[in-house]
Amino acid sequence: MVEQKRENNEVRYNEEFLQMLLMEQEIDAFREHFLALHPYDQAKFYEKVGPDIRQTIYLYLSPEEMALIFEVIDLEDDEYEQFLSEMDPAYGAEMLSHMYTDDAVDVLNELDNEQRESFLEMMDSETAEEINELLGYAQYTAGAIMTTEYVTILENSTVRSAMAVLRKEAPNAETIYYIFVVNDQRQLVGVMSLRDLIIADEDILIHDIMSERVVSVKVGDDQEDVAQIMRDYNFLAIPVIDDNNELQGIITVDDIIDVIDEEASDDYSKLAGISDADDFDAGPFKAAMTRLPWLIILLFLGMFTANLMGQFEATLEKVALLAVFIPLISGTSGNSGTQALAVAVRGIATGEVNEQSKLKLLMKECLTGLFTGLACGVTVVAIIFLWKHQITIGLLVGAAICCSILVATIAGSFIPLLMDKLGIDPAVASGPFITTLNDVTSILIYLGLATTFINQIM
């Protein structure tokens, strides 16, 4: 299986062969082999070679051909500026003009204002105006990720005239699987699939065969909400409208995949207790600066935990054995809280948890915490009795673990639900934060019980 996969990769393209053609200036041979590749493979080759070889690629490929590569390439934010700076400015501007509008906007958003304006000035006025319009929308909204290359049909058209429009507009459209129907005021009134259009009688009116039940989003809607809608309905594209129901653009599934990946990465970062996911290629200093804020906060919380333990110094002095089980209790409660946190954050992110099901989730996690707490408590009582022959301390540690797991599970599910209610990203209730919080509560429970029943232990 591995050998077959390796052979398939070698069939896709041979890097050394393509580089040899470039170095020997075999223009025709390079174009023949390179342009026969899938755009993804073209992009991987282009990204992997050095600046000198890329300079030759710019000579051999037209801006339109290079646009196809930039539409699929996956670069870090700061790399777009680097790659564009290698090109002749006029070449780069023409390349951006040939890209789909939403993809061009994504690239231009990574440049500073001066560079962005420079490229826009070199484009034709119509293209620059379309791009400028999309650049005006707030980041992470439907308007910012929509494309203006799509096909619309007037509702009073016949199927015959609609097919003529489709043939004319399809080459420049990002997708034609859905045909969006508008009235004379460009208000969205219906939608139909390409299949519906093809099989319909040529003389029938579009209004008579279109579906009026159109699911759409507003230009200001959050991109994560748009992704949720497209996932729920299994759409390949969704229309974007303004407050007057006028069609402004469409969002395609390839852009939504990028959004889902971006949002998942962002949530993972917050759950890990960092402000943003570390760039794999980032230097140690940059990575440290990314992680330090949460670590400093957690350091102060850790100091509070240490101070809390100091309040029970007398109890620990009387029964030193109690200190042995502190890591066990705090670690177990922290793990339990992180599990509940993951369930709650995932449910909120996927839409499975809504206003009606929040109480149900809390009750479920409460019972889950009770059952797991009892199971762990009984287990630890048996272990301590067999290990230390101390049934009283065993019962104390078992009770502390049971209570700590119950409290940690409730906190792990309640805190993200509360944050979501307050309009705060629930992923901010990160794993390290929940773990540290549970350290405090578990130690308070454990040593509080020990202090209360100190006479029975001694």
- Find tokens 């029943």 and name the residue: 453
Cβ contacts of 327 within 8 Å, gap of 6 or more: none
Whether 273 maps to a domain, the answer reads: no
| pLDDT value of residue 122 | 94
**421 shares a domain with 345:** yes
For 124, half-sphere exposure in the C-beta direction (CA atoms, 13 angstrom radius) is 6
Last residue of a domain, one of 96, 111, 136: 136
Q: Are residues 435 and 307 in the same domain?
A: yes
Token pair, residue 223, equals 């991109």
Q: Is residue 275 part of a domain?
A: no
For residues 247 and 297, membership in a common domain is answered with: no
Say if residue 226 is in the same domain as residue 336.
no
Tell whether 225 and 354 lie within a shared domain.
no
Q: What does the pLDDT read at residue 353?
A: 78
- Cα(379)–Cα(383) distance, integer angstroms: 6
Tokens 């230097």: give the residue. 283
Q: How far apart are CA 159 and CA 292, in angstroms?
A: 62
73 with 183, same domain: the answer is no
pLDDT of residue 261: 77
CA distance 157 to 169: 15
Which range of residues forms the domain containing residue 51? Answer: 2-136
Q: Establish if 141 belongs to a structural domain.
A: no
Q: Is residue 416 part of a domain?
A: yes
pLDDT given for residue 287 in this prediction: 59
Dist CA 451 CA 458 (whole Å): 11
CATH at 102: 1.25.60.10
Alpha-carbon distances, residue 332 vs 324, 377, 400 (angstroms): 14, 11, 11
Q: What is the pLDDT of residue 7?
A: 42
Cβ atoms 232, 265 nearer than 8 A: no
Do 405 and 262 share a structural domain? no
Render the burial of 47-67: b for 16+ CB within 10 Å, e for the rest. eebeeeeeebbbebbebebbb
Structure tokens belonging to residue 208 = 């008579």
Determine the pLDDT at residue 172.
86
182 domain-assigned: yes
243 and 316 within one domain: no
Are both 23 and 126 inside the same structural domain?
A: yes
Residue 325's pLDDT is what? 84
Q: Are 13 and 128 contained in the same domain?
A: yes
The model carries a pTM of: 0.64
Same domain, 254 and 341: no
Assign residue 430 the CATH number of its domain.
1.10.357.20
Last residue of a domain, one of 238, 267, 296: 267
Residue 208 belongs to some domain of the structure: yes
Number of folded domains in the chain?
3
Question: Residue 144 falls within a domain, yes or no?
Answer: no
Spell out, as residue ranges, where the chain has pLDDT lower than 50.
1-12, 277-278
CATH assignment at residue 224: 3.10.580.10
The answer as to whether 272 is a domain residue is no
Exposure class string for 306-326: b at 16+ Cβ within 10 A, else e: eeebeebeebbeebeebeebb
Q: Are residues 331 and 414 in the same domain?
A: yes
Domain C-terminal end among 136, 161, 192: 136
The neighbour count for residue 198, using CB atoms within 10 Å, is: 10
